[in-house]
Each structure stands twice: as C-alpha cells, then as structure tokens.
Structure 1
Amino acid sequence: MSDPLSALLLGLLEGLTEFLPVSSTGHLLIAQHWLGARSDFFNIVIQAGAILAITLVFRRRIRELATGLGDAANRDYAMKLAAAFLVTALVGLPVRLAGWELPETVTPIAWALILGGVWMIFAERMAERRGDGVHVTWTVAVLVGLAQVVAGVFPGTSRSAAAIFMAMLAGLGRRSAATEFVFLVGIPTMFAASAYAFLELWKDGGLGGEAWGDVALAFTAATVTGFVVVKWLLGYIKQHRFTGFAVYRILLGAALLLWLPAGD
C-alpha cells in the first residue's frame, strides 16, 4: 500500500475514533501493525486534526466562555476547564519526560480494550444510580485531568471514555454534560501535546525526515471525519447509553487476542 493511501486511511480512522469511547490511539496502533508504523509526531498531529474538528463544533460555546468571563457561571466553568488541563499537564509531563513510549505490540491494547469495555458498562450503571447531575465540581475537574493521563499511559483505554465516565462517577451524571466538559478539556490538551511533540522533533533535528505531505493529508482527513462524528455523537448520547461502544471494545479486544500470534 502506498504511503499517501496509508496516511489517508489512518487519518480517517483517527477522525472516526478520537471522540468515540473506543480508543483512537489503540485503533491507530492496531492499524499500523499492518499499514506500517508511523512516528509519534504523526500520531499526535492527526489527533490535533480531530481536535480542530471539535473546536469547530463547539466554536459558539468556546466564544461564549471566552467573551463571557464576567458572568459567574461562565467564569466558574472556564476555571474548571483550566484546572482539568493543568492536572493533565502537571502529571502527564513528568511521565513523558521519564521516557514513556507507546507499546510496539497489540496484545496490551487488546486487554485495555476489553477491560475498558467492562469498566464502561459498570461505570455507566453506577453513575445512573448517582443521579443526573449537570454541575461540574472541582472534584470532577481534577479527576477528568487524571483520567486523561491514565488514558495516555495505557493506549486502548480511550481518553474520552476514561474522562467521561470518571466525570459521571464523580457526580456529573448527565451524559451530554460530561461529554461536553471532556471534549472541551481535550482541545487544549491535544493541541499542547501536538506542540510538545513538534518541539521534541525540532530539537532532535527530525523535522526534515517527516513525510509532511502524508501528515497534512491525514490531518485533513481526521479533521473532516472528526467533525461529522462529533455532530453525530452529540445527538446519539441524548437518547442512548454507551453500552454499544463497550460491547464493541470487548469483541474487538477478544478477536485480537484470538487471532494474533503470541507476542504480537
């Protein structure tokens, strides 16, 4: 398969999976098992393409928060978004500096998909028993930040799934409210991760070796596809649980464990 076609497929896959609770990083690593490995920079930048999509989807909400800081409710919400981002940065950066790298085999991702799917079913049922809360507390903000770090350390976990269900368990019971907060936190989180990856590559002198045409193609595909997926998901979760995604994760993880040779 040609490199541009491979990049296009990976970009489409990123856009399809970044915001669904199925782990975009896990899917990309699985796909690259057959399509060929890509750099960490490629993976993070196409995630930024998907984040650009969500920025466009939530542009009115972002404008409302940015221009309405004089309103107490907007200011409180913005401060909690900032707190969640800072927790992710302050905890996640030392992990990155410690030399953490994505796994080279699919097996740990398969297990993360299965365990994450089981946890999603359990967490959603537990959250429903706690009520239909819509207020973002400081506890929710801190736990969402920590959940993003955990998802970054264990590919296959899913940043959106870990953070959404952590928010729901912490009291933000309404799916739409939890999803909006997590998606908005993801905007600075992933843009910052992309900028950090760019600086690392620049310092190491690796920018010249990057296939920029492939990166641009995948970035565009992820942006367009991500926009469509987010618009669909925001409507879907108003009337449906996340159970279908949990079942998909479990089945995919089991299939990978059954079909892949040991050690892959």
Structure 2
Amino acid sequence: MSTTLLVIILGIVEGLTEYLPVSSTGHLILATELLGFSAEEWAVFNIAIQPGAILAVVVLYWKTFWGVLKGLFEGSKGAWDFTRNLLVAFFPAVLLGLLFGDQIDDLLANAVVVAWALIIGGIGILLVEKLANPPARPDMPEDQVGGAVATMSFKKSLTVGLVQCLAMIPGVSRSGATIMGAMALGIDRKTAAEFSFFLAVPTLSGATVYSLFKARDELVADDLGMIGLGALVSFVVAYAVVKAFIAIVTKIGFAPFAWYRIVVGIAALFWLGAI
C-alpha cells in the first residue's frame, strides 16, 4: 500500500470517529496496525491531522463562535459564561498532559490497551444511557449567546473536564467521556454533544501544537504535505459526520455506538491474539 493511500484512509478514519463516542485515537492505532504499518511511527501524524476535524466544528458552528466573540467585547454574560465553561473544562487536560505526556505517548502505540478500552468504554456508555435518564433540552431564547452551553455551571463544566482526562488512555474516546460525563450530571443529550464539540476546539488544538512542537526535529517538508492531505480529508468527513450526529443521538441515543465499541474491541483482541 502506498503512503498516500494510507494518509487518505487515516484522514477518513479521523473524520469519521473524532466526534463519535468510539475513540478516534483508538481507531487510528488499530487501522494503522491492520494495514501493516507501525502505530508508534504514525502517532504524531495521527494527532497532526486533527486540525481538519477541528475546522469542521468551527465552520458548522461559526455563528455560535462569532456570537461569543462579539459578546465578549460587548460584555455579554452568555459569552463570558460560555468561554469560562470551555476554559475550565480544558484546564485539567492541559495539566495532566504536561505532567504525564511521556506515559501517554507510550500508550499510543499499544493496540491491546485500545481494544480493552473500547470494550470497557462501551459498557460504560450502556450504563450511563440506562441510569442517567437525561432531561429534555431546555428552551433557549433565540438570542441566547453561547446557547445552552453558556447555562452550564462552573462545577459541572469542571467535572466534565476532569472526566475528559480519561480519554488520554487511547480507546476511551474524548467525545464519549465528555458526553457521558455531562449526561451523568443531568445535562441533556444535545447540549452534552455540543459541549463536547466546542471543547474539542481548544483540546485538540493544544494537543496538536504540543505534539508537533515535540516532534519538530523529526518533521520534513514531505511530512507537512501528507499532514495537509490527511487534515483536508478529515475536515470533509468530519463536517458530514457532525452535521448528522446530533439528529441521530437525539432520536436513538448512544447505545448503538456502545455496542459497536464492544464488538470492535472483542474483534481486535482476537486479531491481536490477546485472547
């Protein structure tokens, strides 16, 4: 298989899985290994193409981001609350990433860890779906800056940020952890999913910049071209996925994603010879 084809496949996998509660990192690791390449050698690339998926959320929710940006200058309470909630939820991941970055990098090449995390995470989603019983989405004024995310409390935002740190274990799923954490706190499905999308912007941006900075001596011009291609593919795919995701989960919930995780995790363990 050519390197270019692998780049396109990984871009598709990133776009498909980044915002679904199935673990993009886990799928990228398994896909790389399945196609006969070293997950460790492609770990930086898999993080570096995330800006494509980030841009998909920014484009889809540009009105929200623009409204918040304007609101900050106009002194809007909703804009400041929205920003506070994202920063508070983002901070724990920054702290743990700086403290345990090397240990996290070691896990990124372990496909067995990914498989078990997929299974355990799937079971966790089923339990939250059964026990949380999230309420209906509250009615919001049309001019509410920051939407329902701005109405979340400081405590709930911080708690979701702490839960997000579980996603540093590959296979757990950043979106899955944040969405299920929010639902467990009594936040409705749609607001939980949107908060996860918005939180992805600073979280994935920070992870990308940090990883590229650490690997700056290893990158060459050809790498940048491949990263650009992978990011472009991930943008196109993620745009379509995010657009459809909210409609799906508000109607049928997250159980199908949980069962998918469990099946893929078990299949991966058999394929890896771990069971």
Tell whether the structures are fold-level matches, with TM greater than 0.5: yes
| 1:215-254 matched pairs, under 5 angstroms | 215-254=227-266
Measured after TM superposition, the shift of residue 100 of structure 1 is 4.0
Name the residue aligned to 1:170: 185
Unaligned ranges ≥5, structure 2: 139-150
Name the residue aligned to 2:86: 81
Unaligned ranges ≥5, structure 1: none
Name the residue aligned to 2:220: 208
Name the residue aligned to 2:106: 101
From the superposition, tell whether residues 132 and 92 of structure 1 become closer, same or farther in structure 2 (CA, over 3 Å).
farther
From the superposition, tell whether residues 97 and 103 of structure 1 become closer, same or farther in structure 2 (CA, over 3 Å).
closer
Aligned equivalents of 1:254 and 1:46: distance in 2? 27
In structure 2, what residue type is equivalent to 1:178? A
- Root-mean-square deviation (CA, aligned residues, Å) is 1.9
- For the pair 1:136 / 2:148, whether they are aligned, the reply is no
- After TM superposition, the score normalised by the length of structure 1 is 0.91
- For the pair 1:5 / 2:21, whether they are aligned, the reply is no
Name the residue aligned to 1:46: 49
1:112-158 deviation per Cα after TM superposition (whole angstroms, max 9, x unaligned):
11110010010122221x64475412222112212222101x11100
1:148-194 deviation per Cα after TM superposition (whole angstroms, max 9, x unaligned):
22101x1110000001110111221x100011111101101111111
Aligned equivalents of 1:176 and 1:117: distance in 2? 19
Pairing partner for 1:157 from 163, 172, 188: 172
- Bigger CA drift: 252-261 or 95-104? 95-104
Measured after TM superposition, the shift of residue 262 of structure 1 is 3.4
Tell me if structure 1 keeps the 8 A contact 2:43–2:109. Answer: no
Tell me if structure 2 keeps the 8 A contact 1:140–1:171. Answer: no
From the superposition, tell whether residues 123 and 197 of structure 1 become closer, same or farther in structure 2 (CA, over 3 Å).
same
Aligned equivalents of 1:222 and 1:115: distance in 2? 27
Tell me if structure 2 keeps the 8 A contact 1:84–1:185. Answer: yes
**DSSP-derived class of the 2:55 partner:** helix
Pairing partner for 1:182 from 196, 206, 221: 196
Tell me if structure 1 keeps the 8 A contact 2:137–2:189. Answer: no
From the superposition, tell whether residues 118 and 52 of structure 1 become closer, same or farther in structure 2 (CA, over 3 Å).
same
Name the residue aligned to 1:145: 161
Tell me if structure 2 keeps the 8 A contact 1:144–1:182. Answer: no
Aligned equivalents of 1:88 and 1:132: distance in 2? 29
Name the residue aligned to 1:262: 274
Aligned equivalents of 1:235 and 1:133: distance in 2? 13
Aligned equivalents of 1:215 and 1:103: distance in 2? 18
- Bigger CA drift: 35-44 or 213-222? 35-44
1:60-107 deviation per Cα after TM superposition (whole angstroms, max 9, x unaligned):
111111111322223212211111112221232211156742343322
Aligned equivalents of 1:236 and 1:125: distance in 2? 18
